[in-house]
Structure 1
């Protein structure tokens, strides 16, 4: 008789996820359900006897009815089980069972033919994340010594594993709180898997064009033609159920009919037929799909549903998908020479990788690249970006030897937190130049169903800067910056020399440099009749000058002079210089042929080629962007917060206790706020609420006078035209005067929120705040307190965790920062203490995602201290915005919550 099922609870929705395996293919991970009984039986029948023995320590060829019930019916609290599905079959199962409060036993079973694909590690990550949410602190596992694969799974996860032997069985125990090592292991595995999933798109050995057509002026015909005329080195297969041949190629009725292996399918069929193509490709074992077809999320709600089904189907069979509604992919590597796109223009080989989303814009971008002589390594137009996103491309480009510069045109950011994490790592190796449309409106194209970012746009800009991304305003400026990065060395600093044969343009260059923070240390006016020799001598002198970090060359030729001699000089100097050289040469845009250096790799322009700009202002602006990136590269993060004096366990207890009594969230009371902040070394000044004059006088006496009376209601303290504070009260009579005077000035006295507080030393009022953004995760901000600076949006932002350098930069980059450094003879404040508070607020927000807002709206920064006079904290149930911090997952289907 079957065992009675435990009381069922519903598993949280975010426990279900699409995941990427080690080989770059997808699978679906979810909590087990009672109706999975048949899936479990079929799965167990495919598992080898050895794997069964390793799991149960005894021969167990089949599962009894009782076993099936026990394994499939869990309570999702003390007994949690998750399965991995692929193609409608269960290929792995993992579970934990609580053995005592805070500790659970964990075990896995992976189908033999899927072992070695990183599935057990993924299950461990997701079970640990679920365990943390359920209050589990430790996992333990019993493993046979011969089961080396499972032993390595636990040890390689990055946790601190302790082991011992009991009755011939190895017992492994480890705390599941994330460590720097375990997070690093997860990030490394994520990088390898996502890079592998993209690599096959760029280097396919064979391609099937589904929807290939014999008719001219059709998408299917254009795709075949572009592949063939682009000299693709692999095999092209045409798929058309009604034709025997297309463009001289034999046509097959389905992908599965193709006798050879197929790596990538390019899909150009009506939207309602795409799902059938997915099933056909899955049966063939295709790695990925590039869906050119439109008719999906860009068309409205019906299209969004169709797109959601498409992504879910593709991932359930292990396929990655670019698109739909995209232009395609290009790889200019001569060993591949892939133009799997609708663009008839194959760009020249170059050092830059390009990611964009709009298909229509992609065609214009390719034309601009060609006209500028920039050259690309690879190009992707992701269309509606339902699956493959910019984050995936960054993972690939990080180690792609052909790509030295990354360009991204972002119409939306589905997962800015992950973008920030990945981009920061990539930026340390290769510069990223990005244009972000909709910066002001947060508008996104129809096909991009993403949630709005709650944090202000300054926070998004700060995230880009913090990650080292060179954010520019438009496509022209993107190419201006990229051509400099692709061909010239990075500058060592901000000092510039201007060399030219036009006094007027030299002056414009100097003015432009000053406007963007560059320092012109040398300006050489050669005169209109300057020869090539004059230019060579001046350029050599400027480059040899130790006080010069970069050179701007301006050449406007006299009448009837080609300037070829000067061009030869610029190219020769640019090739040999270890300092960047930019030019305004003949008003040309891009990298003119005269200024190109031959490249042994066959690229359109080699290292040392000199970029030219039609206006000197554009040249200087591009140089300034590159200087900013070079400075970012050389600026260390600084030490992170010393955690030795932080009581993170105590802080977590305060938050969890508050949520236990208020499961829907609550504003912490004054005592809870004071205790929580004290756990992170933030001392707050006590204030006592009073409702009558007598209460105010009593509190004043208890505090020993020298107190203030103030109204704390937001509608009063945020208005400069209303007095709401009376300071330096030393007696009952003075309190009476203060009470009566303020009550005459304030009409809504009943809702004023009167408090009495000790008088703090004078100082500059600053405000430090943090929040949990639904997409960003934690965000911290700093600014001078008060409505005027709020109106001017004069605040700085960072994404925790942050280091000492970030905190110092936050304090200094606001426009009103001179108030902290002795403005008009005032006292210089204790800036180090202000930075310490910023660091601690950021760390507290980073450590506790339950804190949805933390506000220190009034901190008086004086010469030797910073007094926190007011504080408030809001806590809510744990945010789902961080579910991918410690457990890998692909963006949710069709990008409707947090696409990557």
Structure 2
């Protein structure tokens, strides 16, 4: 049994702080439990009252003569740790602390929460909260509203879990207005013990839940979260939609590398969600737009959408939105065109979008909707209706669920307006057809469904972690030597390349010159043309210091460049420590991309890929994934950048070697996973050649840092 199941499905509840005083949280909570018709036994706990709301009360939890599954705690913060300890002695399965005044206020509140956590560790009792709204379970065998929310939602197939209690009350109100029901509705507050991963573990196998919605401010354990989310989405096929606040937060530290500067905390969450099959949404409003579609309609088999409308303008708006959000306008078959031609007026548009004209009756709508959805080239439909004097609004609404019974394809409505179309919208919502006031929202919801279906279609693909034969022990030894007793060390390119060679990255020939006398021997090894670069811990940007020379072809040019680079470096920073000049063969021309990695303090190594040069400097066209990653993740990283078409070949240029890029990303993932001391690194650029010709590392940089606690 899941350890939190008895507190989500309790047979008995003690309400510590239950009250007869109207307006108090204790009054609202026990009133909600009674009004919802809780099927178990209630035990109000009050130090003085003999009964609360007509139910026999007990002075303490330990005075209750029977077993208790859940203790709902609604008392002052100072009293809570003692009550949790008392509940543990009573062998209560779990506590839900609605009381506030803990970690969220700091100081003494944080100390009180730490005491609760100590009791959890010592006794094993589970605790939800503190500082939460409570929990609702609409299953008819429990009918539990253990919260102080004003509304008990109707029963449905959606679970909602939220870190914010205040948000929950608004969500319940919106859901009631949109005829959306819930299986479970959970506010978990400060996460002193039970967190989002625990709830997802339970909801994964909950037969009442087909769709999970979440509002998150943080994730406690990134890898555990990803594991259970993958099980929910890829194995169980349950959609998981998440609103994650804090998009605008920057990374916690200033970063010296491109990767570090681009990888704010939000990039980490984007990577986690994508790799877990989660749909990230922008707002609560959008969350419910998607939830209506996901919970009421079948998933589309593809991205080919048909649009049926009685007005040209909204049809064009829907078309633009569909294309913008990655949908394709379905190409209707000849037989469908023939049906439309026979049944629609001459002025109607028979192509997609199908315009049935403003005077369309419900019969005309039905013919068009049925013909279009029966077309094997169509994966789903958006039906638009603008209220005109001759429009049969309710009768047209009645058509959509009737047609839906005969097809296994999603139908989304866009009955545009609020007043004139209200009767039709009400009918649609009551009969399982989501409606959107404007067609752009319908197109976006359909697109979200398509994305989930596409991700679901990959569930049977192999998800093994690739393991390349590498010199792991040698790299570990190099890192120990270079880091020594320092907390941080920036490896210059020559040393960074040594690590990359151990992991079999494609490298250029190179030589570190510490004295001009070494030039002639180096030229024998590294054949011109060559590039020469200053090597100095004190000069971060080599070009700014005049520390780079390219295209050197003769011994004389190389000697002259050596002297100039040293002089420029001393002029740029007189006290700079100069370790030498790095001479490397000049790579032939190709497409420049960047690979990188940084270390998220909570979730570990995060890998980056993007186009190099101006694209990373200005456009920031990059993708991220957590390491270690699957082969499919590496491929999606490459295909996920906006500039992917450049790699496919444009204006007569051949397609680039995508396989070579993917292998380098996977080697990077393995390198940073194997060695937690790698805090940041850039391979910039990685020069990619035409398909089948590979790629080569042209520049690299690695920052080592001692892992926390070592």
Fold match by TM threshold 0.5: yes
Query: For each residue in 1:752-810, what CA deviation from the matched residue of structure 2 results, as whole angstroms up to 9, or x when unmatched?
Result: 86321122222222221223322111211112233652343222111122222222221
**What's the counterpart of residue 266 of structure 2?**
457
Match of 1:579 among 392, 400, 409: 409
Q: Does 1:779 pair with 2:606? A: yes
Deviates more, 1:419-428 or 1:524-533: 419-428
**Maintained 8 Å contact 2:494/2:582:** no
- The 1:749–1:341 alpha-carbon spacing in structure 2 relative to 1, beyond 3 Å, is closer
Picking from 233, 237, 242, the partner of 2:39 is: 233
Kept in 1, the 8 Å contact 2:179–2:429? The answer is: no
User: In the alignment, is the contact (CA less than 8 A) between 2:397 and 2:425 conserved in 1?
Assistant: no
Q: How far did 1:831 drift?
A: 2.1
Conserved 8 A contact 1:208-1:266: yes
Q: Residue 471 of structure 1 corresponds to which residue in structure 2?
A: 280
Partner of 2:452: 629
| Alignment TM-score, normalising by the size of structure 1 | 0.69
Q: Quick one: structure 1 residues 875 and 726, their matched pair in 2 at CA, closer, same or farther if it must change by over 3 Å?
A: closer
Does residue 436 of the first structure (1) align with residue 244 of the second (2)?
yes
Deviates more, 1:338-347 or 1:793-802: 793-802
Structure-2 separation of matches of 1:373 and 1:552:
20
Change (3 A) 1:501 1:875: same
Shift of 1:676: 3.8
Contact 1:718/1:786, CA 8 A, preserved across alignment: no
Q: What secondary structure does 2:582 align onto? A: strand
1:832–1:639 CA distance, 2 compared to 1 (3 A): farther
**Offset, 1:821:** 3.0
1:552 to 379, 382, 388: 382
Residues 616, 419 of structure 1: alpha-carbon distance in 2 compared, 3 angstrom cutoff: same
Look up the match of 1:730: 553
Match of 1:350 among 141, 156, 172: 156
Q: Tell me how far apart the structure 2 counterparts of residues 642 and 220 of structure 1 sit (CA, whole Å).
A: 55
- CA contact 2:490–2:537 (8 Å) conserved in 1: no
Match of 1:245 in 2: 51
Q: Do 2:18 and 2:26's aligned partners in 1 also have CA atoms closer than 8 Å?
A: yes
The alignment's TM-score, normalised by the length of structure 2, stands at 0.87
Instruction: Answer yes or no: is 1:301 the counterpart of 2:107.
Output: yes
- Is 1:766 the counterpart of 2:593? The answer is yes
Q: Where in structure 2 are there 5+ consecutive unaligned residues?
A: 253-261, 331-351
Cα distance in 1 for partners of 2:681, 2:177 equals: 51
Q: Which moved more, 1:453-462 or 1:666-675?
A: 666-675
Q: Distance in 2 between matches of 1:816 and 1:713?
A: 34
Distance 2:682 2:300 in 1: 40
The answer to whether the 8 Å contact 1:270/1:293 transfers is yes
Q: Counterparts in 2 of 1:633-782, with a 5 A limit?
A: 633-635=456-458, 640=464, 642-643=466-467, 645-652=469-476, 654-655=478-479, 661-662=484-485, 664=487, 666-667=489-490, 673-674=496-497, 676-690=499-513, 695-696=518-519, 699-711=522-534, 725-736=548-559, 738-739=561-562, 747-748=571-572, 751=576, 754-782=581-609
After TM superposition, list the pairs within 5 Å mapping 1:51-90 onto structure 2.
none
Task: Note if contact 1:325-1:359 (Cα within 8 Å) is conserved in structure 2.
Answer: yes
Instruction: Quickly say closer, same or farther: Cα 1:433–1:704, change in 2 above 3 A.
Output: closer
Distance 1:719 1:825, change over 3 A: farther
Partner residue of 2:334? Answer: none
Q: 1:513 to 1:713 in 2, by over 3 A?
A: farther
Give secondary structure in 2 for the equivalent of 1:463: helix
Judge conservation of contact 1:774–1:879 (CA < 8 Å) in 2. no
Instruction: Report the Cα distance in structure 2 between the residues aligned to 1:307 and 1:213, rounded to whole angstroms.
Output: 24
> Does the residue aligned with 2:3 lie in a helix, a strand or coil?
helix
1:392 has 2:198 as partner: yes
Partner of 1:99: none
Distance in 1 separating the partners of 2:319 and 2:544: 45
Structure 2 equivalent of residue 867 of structure 1: 696
Check the 8 A contact 1:407/1:433 in 2, yes or no: yes
Partner of residue 595, structure 1: 428
Whether 2:215 is the aligned partner of 1:409: answer yes
Tell me by how many angstroms 1:816 deviates. 3.2
My pick for the range that moved more, 385-394 or 395-404, is 385-394
Task: Report how far residue 419 of structure 1 moved.
Answer: 1.9
Partner of residue 18 from structure 2, selected from 212, 216, 237: 212
CA drift at 1:361: 1.1
Kindly indicate whether the alpha-carbon contact (under 8 Å) linking 2:686 and 2:698 is maintained by their aligned counterparts in 1: yes
Question: Please, which moves more after superposition, 395-404 or 689-698?
Answer: 689-698
Give 1:122's aligned residue.
none
* Shift, 1:491, TM fit: 0.9
Say which of 311, 316, 319 aligns to 1:507: 316
Structure 2 residue 678 is matched with structure 1 residue 845: no
Query: In terms of mean alpha carbon deviation, does 399-408 or 551-560 score higher?
Result: 551-560
Are the equivalent residues in 1 in contact too, given 2:531–2:549 (CA < 8 A)? yes
SS of alignment partner, residue 825 of structure 1: coil
**Does residue 332 of structure 1 match 2:138?**
yes
Change (3 A) 1:546 1:716: farther
For 1:824, what is the secondary structure of its paired residue?
coil
Cα deviation 1:582-606 (Å, max 9, x = unaligned): 0112536999441256xxxxxxx6x
* C-alpha distance in 1 between matches for 2:71 and 2:468: 55
Name the Cα RMSD after superposition: 3.0
Cα distance, 1:421 vs structure 2 = 2.4
Structure 2 SS opposite 1:336: coil
- The answer for the alignment partner of 2:442 in structure 1 is 619
Query: Could you say if the C-alpha distance between residues 343 and 412 of structure 1 is closer, same or farther in structure 2, counting changes exceeding 3 Å?
Result: same
Could you tell me how far 1:650 is from its partner in structure 2? 4.8
Asked if the contact 1:358–1:381 (Cα under 8 Å) also holds between the matched residues in 2, the reply is yes
* Distance of 1:283 and 1:642 partners within structure 2: 49
Tell me the CA shift for residue 737 of structure 1. 5.1
Residues 366, 340 of structure 1: alpha-carbon distance in 2 compared, 3 angstrom cutoff: same
State the Cα distance separating 1:638 from its structure 2 match.
5.2
Write the distance in 1 (CA, Å) between the matches of 2:251 and 2:659.
40
Partner Cα distance (2:472, 2:168) in 1: 49
Determine whether 1:540 maps to 2:370: yes
How far apart in 1 are the matches of 2:6 and 2:424?
32
* Contact preservation (8 Å) 1:234, 1:336: yes
The answer to whether the 8 A contact 2:465-2:628 is kept is no
- Aligned 8 A contact 2:139 2:183 in 1: yes
**Residues 104-140 of structure 1, C-alpha deviations (whole Å, 9 max, x = no match):** xxxxxxxxxxxxxxxxxxxxxxxxxxxxxxxxxxxxx
Name the structure 2 match of 1:29. Answer: none
Q: Is the Cα contact below 8 Å between 2:216 and 2:244 reproduced in 1?
A: yes
Q: Does residue 167 of structure 2 align to residue 361 of structure 1?
A: yes
Residue segments in structure 1 that go unaligned for 5+ positions in a row: 1-22, 24-195, 445-452, 598-604, 882-900
Deviation at 1:671, TM superposition (A): 7.3
- Secondary structure of 2:357's counterpart equals coil
**Quick check: 1:789 aligned with 2:620?**
no
Counterpart position of 1:890: none
Residue 394 of structure 2: aligned partner: 564
Cα separation, partners in 2 of 1:251 and 1:639, compared to 1, 3 Å: closer
CA contact (8 A) 1:696 1:756 kept: no
TM superposition shift of 1:709: 2.1
How far apart are 1:572 and its partner, in Å?
A: 1.1
Pair 1:591–1:674, CA change in 2 (3 A): farther
Give the corresponding residue for 1:809: 636
The question of whether the paired residues in 2 share the 8 Å contact of 1:483 and 1:590 is answered with: no
Query: How far apart, CA to CA, are the structure 1 residues paired with 2:630 and 2:649?
Result: 25
Whole-Å separation in 2 of the counterparts to 1:675 and 1:714: 17
Tell me what 1:197 maps to. Answer: 3
SS of structure 2 residue aligned to 1:386: coil
Cα distance change on mapping 1:456 and 1:291 into 2, 3 Å? closer
- Could you report, residue by residue, the CA deviation over 1:601-636 in whole angstroms, capped at 9, with x for unpaired residues? xxxx6xxx1100111111111111111111111135
Asked whether the 8 Å contact 1:807–1:838 carries over to 2, the reply is yes
1:833 is aligned, of 647, 660, 663, to 660
- In the TM superposition, residue 741 of structure 1 has moved relative to its aligned partner by 6.6
Contact 1:223 1:340 in 2 (8 A): yes
